[in-house]
């Protein structure tokens, strides 16, 4: 497992932001999928301002949302809203695109179909860099274990009801995420230790299914999340 350990969440955020910029540097149009959740928030804030923002403006990026909760735009749970308030709080850089799930359409299935149409219209073939979070149960994006979504083995986006959250979710599919050329898993806090150990052991978890195949994966974590087991 390619692992970088940072002393604190703020150093992790800075390291992850700079690693993303290194990936984008100088290339033609890049496709980056963005994780929701709380961990990447500080990384997105750093990318949304100052020299890092200026660096982003020299790139050409199609940003795609990795997953979304079935909530209206502006809802505190909305991943797209969180990203607009952090990464794009000074607006979307000129020439960039942000493809999100439209949760104002009638049903979750329609939102997934519309996302896939937008993705195809943008001419996207695959994600160049996937920014991923990981849940304590090993989910990533909204690929939750035991939800049936891991069996969706075709297409770009799908919808899934997550009983433990009592919530519909929209997500990139396993094939869409797994085929990313490069993956950064961002994890922080002691609550992530167990899932990191499980991932090191190659347990059958969604995060392992996504990172275990396809392009190179890196785990960027803080010291709190570093497993106590030195053998790992």
Helices (H), the chain: 9-24, 41-47, 50-57, 79-85, 108-121, 174-178, 193-200, 206-211
For ligand 6PG, which residue of 1, 18, 23, 37 counts as binding (CB under 6 A)? Answer: 37
Burial class (CB in 10 A: 0-12, 13-18, 19+), 3: middle
Distance between CA atoms of 4 and 2, rounded to whole angstroms? 7
CB of 99 to ligand 6PG, least distance (A): 15
The smaller minimum CB distance to ligand 6PG, of residues 19 and 141, is found at: 141
Stretch that binds ligand 6PG, among 8-16, 112-120, 135-143, 149-157 (CB under 6 A): 135-143
Stretch that binds ligand 6PG, among 34-42, 93-101, 110-118, 197-205 (CB under 6 A): 34-42
Stretch that binds ligand 6PG, among 23-31, 127-135, 148-156, 160-168 (CB under 6 A): 127-135
Contacts of 149 (CB under 8 A, 6+ apart): 142, 143, 158, 160, 171, 173, 174
Task: Decide: is 38 part of the binding site for ligand 6PG (CB under 6 A).
Answer: yes
Task: Decide: is 52 part of the binding site for ligand 6PG (CB under 6 A).
Answer: no
Say whether 108 sits in a helix, a strand or coil: helix
For ligand 6PG, which residue of 82, 86, 124, 139 counts as binding (CB under 6 A)? Answer: 139
For ligand 6PG, which residue of 17, 46, 62, 67 counts as binding (CB under 6 A)? Answer: 67
Nearest to 165 by CA among 187, 136, 189, 192: 136
The smaller minimum CB distance to ligand 6PG, of residues 79 and 147, is found at: 79
Q: Both ends of the chain: CA-CA distance in Å?
A: 9
Give the residues lining the site for ligand 6PG (CB under 6 A).
Answer: 35-39, 66-67, 79, 133-135, 139-141
């Amino acid at each position: 497992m390619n692992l970088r350990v940072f002393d604190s969440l703020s150093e992790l955020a800075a390291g992850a932001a700079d690693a993303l910029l290194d990936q984008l540097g100088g290339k033609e149009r890049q496709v980056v999928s963005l994780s929701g959740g709380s961990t990447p928030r500080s990384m997105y804030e750093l990318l949304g301002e100052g020299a890092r923002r200026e660096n982003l403006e020299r790139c050409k990026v199609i940003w795609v949302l990795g997953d979304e909760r079935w909530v209206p735009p502006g809802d505190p749970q909305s991943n797209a809203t969180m990203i607009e308030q952090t990464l794009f709080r000074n607006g979307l850089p000129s020439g960039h695109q942000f493809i999100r799930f439209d949760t104002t359409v009638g049903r979750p299935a329609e939102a997934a179909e519309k996302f896939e149409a937008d993705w195809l219209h943008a001419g996207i073939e695959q994600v160049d860099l996937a920014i991923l979070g990981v849940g304590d149960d090993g989910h990533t994006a909204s690929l939750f274990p035991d939800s049936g979504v891991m069996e969706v083995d075709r297409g770009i986006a799908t919808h899934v009801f997550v009983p433990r959250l009592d919530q519909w979710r929209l997500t990139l599919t396993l094939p869409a995420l797994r085929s990313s050329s490069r993956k950064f898993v961002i994890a922080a806090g002691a609550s992530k230790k167990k899932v990191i150990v499980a991932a090191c052991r190659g347990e059958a978890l969604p995060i392992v299914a996504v990172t275990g195949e396809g392009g190179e994966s890196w785990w960027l974590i803080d010291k709190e999340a570093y497993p106590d087991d030195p053998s790992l």
